[in-house]
Amino acid sequence: MTGATLLFLIIGLGLIAWFFGRLKAAGMQSGGKHSRSALHSLPNYHGWYVALWAILPAAIFLAVWSFASPALITDAALTSPAAAQLPQDAFARAAILSEARAIASGNQVNAFNPLSQSMVEPYRDAITYYQMIGTVAALLLVFACGVYAWLQIKPDLRARTKIERVTMLVLLLASLIAIVTTVGIFLSLVFESVRFFSMVSPIDFLFGTEWNPKAVAGPRGETGFGAIPLFWGTVFIGAIIAMIVAIPLGLMSAIYLTQYAPAKFRSWMKPILEVLAGVPTVVYGYFAALTVAPALRDFAVSIGISNASSESALAAGVVMGIMIIPFVSSMADDSIAAVPSAMRDGSLAMGATQSETIKKVLIPAALPGVVGGVLLAVSRAIGETMIVVMAAGLAANMTANPFSSVTTVTTQIVQLLTGDQEFDSPKTLAAFALGLVLFIVTLLLNLIALRVVKKYREAYE
């Protein structure tokens, strides 16, 4: 019996347990139609109580068993006479064993290695044996725990309280999954980065100015992993060019929407801006690579910049800025709207004009929130990948010329990890180190931004 079938069987039994639990509890309900029930909890809760007792321990057992049984099966298979012929070399041995297992469990038809074929029989026996043990034990657990819970049903059993507690635990688990996954990703980045830094010195990586990972074919410690050009390219595109575009435009659009726009215009303009924030970045990437970049190059050539590249920092940065505008605008909008209207009235009542009120009262009061929003926008921009991959180019130049091609951390991660790669060469591992740096920087930016925004919110509450 496969795991999935068994699980469905257990759930089916759980439903039966629910029925019996409810039946017993309902039988204890005494009194007439409107008299208060003798039961502490409604019969339904008793039903769930029995059902959960029947399902949960068996399900937990199955989960543990599915982790533990493969090792037990291999051990059992190795005690068979056929195992004596296996090679001593651990690597070859493992290859044969995994092949035999694949055939035994029906995932593979023919053996590549004849030795594997001889191991199939012992494997098949071991698998059948342990599967049977698992199935029987799980079903026994269902019955034992179900009957135990069923016997527990008494009028004063606090079934409802217990069900609530289980519900709470399930919700807690759900909320932990995202966090645990993030921590797992972070740890994997750290481990791979440690491997990378055992091959390339962190100093060379963080402060080296030459990025040419293909050159690492030579002895250990060879340079070519200086990431400064990448960091510069990321900052140049994401934090400088994109923000020069996004901050003024986003802020002005927020000011117009909150202060000047008629309610009707605002009511359809704001949703449109928010929809723009959901356009896939690859679409902006097309736009950057096929429309903006050639136009900018032609413009640069026409004003006499001869070395203008068709893939330029400016094209990627400008399009990224446009992509970020709705984000900045929406954050600034929220901050300006959070300034109490008494502040605005106070200024208007002094005889200030609307634009004086905005410049001298609203913007200063909303500034911390706007700054927080901008920091969040920067953190989004430096993590952005598609636009720079399509429009910024691959040349790791250290240049402040916006018409030349630069490369970013995210672009290089894509370059390092796409195609056939060995997963233990420094070239591949460098991607993890870059990822780690990016992760830490964006995390810090987000932390600072959220703190700034929070502090500002408190000031007006």
Partner 1 sequence: MNYDQKILEPNESVNMTDSATTAMNTESGTPKMTARHVDVFYGDKQAINDVSIDVNMDSVTAFIGPSGCGKSTFLRCMNRMNDTIPIARVTGEIKLEGEDIYASQMDVVQLRARVGMVFQKPNPFPKSIYDNIAYGPRIHGLATGKEELDEIVESSLQRAGLWGEVKDRLDDSGTALSGGQQQRLCIARAIAVDPEVILMDEPCSALDPIATAKIEELIHELRGKYAIVIVTHNMQQAARVSQKTAFFHLGTLVEYGETTDIFTNPREEKTRDYITGRYG
Angle at 366 between CA 362 and CA 372, to 5 degrees: 160
Q: Is the CB of 154 or the CB of 360 nearer to partner 1?
A: 360
With CB under 8 A as the contact rule, the residue among 29, 353, 418, 421 that binds partner 1 is 353
Angle at 320 between CA 304 and CA 179, to 5 degrees: 150
Binding track, positions 146-185, relative to partner 1; x by CB under 8 A:
----------------------------------------
Compute the 3-state secondary structure of the chain and give helix, strand, coil in percent, each to the nearest 5: 75, 0, 25
338 is a contact residue toward partner 1 (CB under 8 A)? no
With CB under 8 A as the contact rule, the residue among 217, 263, 272, 303 that binds partner 1 is 263
With CB under 8 A as the contact rule, the residue among 81, 106, 262, 419 that binds partner 1 is 262
Determine the residue type at 105. Answer: S
347 is a contact residue toward partner 1 (CB under 8 A)? yes
316 closest CA partner among 216, 418, 247, 240: 240
Beta carbon of residue 257, minimum distance to partner 1 (angstroms, whole number): 15
Q: Is the CB of 203 or the CB of 350 nearer to partner 1?
A: 350
347 closest CA partner among 355, 337, 357, 339: 357
With CB under 8 A as the contact rule, the residue among 106, 351, 419, 422 that binds partner 1 is 351
Determine the residue type at 18. Answer: W
Q: Is the CB of 357 or the CB of 404 nearer to partner 1?
A: 357
Q: What is the token pair recorded at 264?
A: 């009707």
Binding range to partner 1, per CB under 8 A, among 73-81, 129-137, 318-326, 339-347: 339-347
Binding range to partner 1, per CB under 8 A, among 4-12, 13-21, 348-356, 391-399: 348-356
Q: What is the token pair recorded at 46?
A: 């008793």
313 closest CA partner among 228, 396, 205: 396
With CB under 8 A as the contact rule, the residue among 106, 219, 349, 422 that binds partner 1 is 349
360 is a contact residue toward partner 1 (CB under 8 A)? yes
Sign of CA dihedral 187, 193, 198, 204: negative
Beta carbon of residue 340, minimum distance to partner 1 (angstroms, whole number): 7
8 Å CB contact between 199 and 429: yes
8 Å CB contact between 40 and 29: no
Binding range to partner 1, per CB under 8 A, among 191-199, 309-317, 338-346, 376-384: 338-346
* Residue appearing with tokens 């999954």: 177
Beta carbon of residue 200, minimum distance to partner 1 (angstroms, whole number): 50
* Residue appearing with tokens 């300006």: 336
Binding range to partner 1, per CB under 8 A, among 27-35, 156-164, 352-360, 388-396: 352-360
Beta carbon of residue 372, minimum distance to partner 1 (angstroms, whole number): 16
459 is a contact residue toward partner 1 (CB under 8 A)? yes
278 is a contact residue toward partner 1 (CB under 8 A)? no
Residue 78 CA, distance from chain mean position: 41
Q: Is the CB of 361 or the CB of 437 nearer to partner 1?
A: 361
Beta carbon of residue 268, minimum distance to partner 1 (angstroms, whole number): 17
406 is a contact residue toward partner 1 (CB under 8 A)? no
345 is a contact residue toward partner 1 (CB under 8 A)? yes
Q: How far apart are CA 10 and CA 30, in angstroms?
A: 32
430 closest CA partner among 183, 184, 205, 203: 205
Beta carbon of residue 345, minimum distance to partner 1 (angstroms, whole number): 6
8 Å CB contact between 69 and 134: yes
Q: Is the CB of 57 or the CB of 368 nearer to partner 1?
A: 368
356 is a contact residue toward partner 1 (CB under 8 A)? yes
Q: How far apart are CA 84 and CA 359, in angstroms?
A: 85
Q: How far apart are CA 204 and CA 221, in angstroms?
A: 9
Q: What is the token pair recorded at 313?
A: 């920092």
Q: Where does this chain bind partner 1 (CB under 8 A)?
A: 262-263, 340, 342-353, 356, 360-361, 364-365, 459
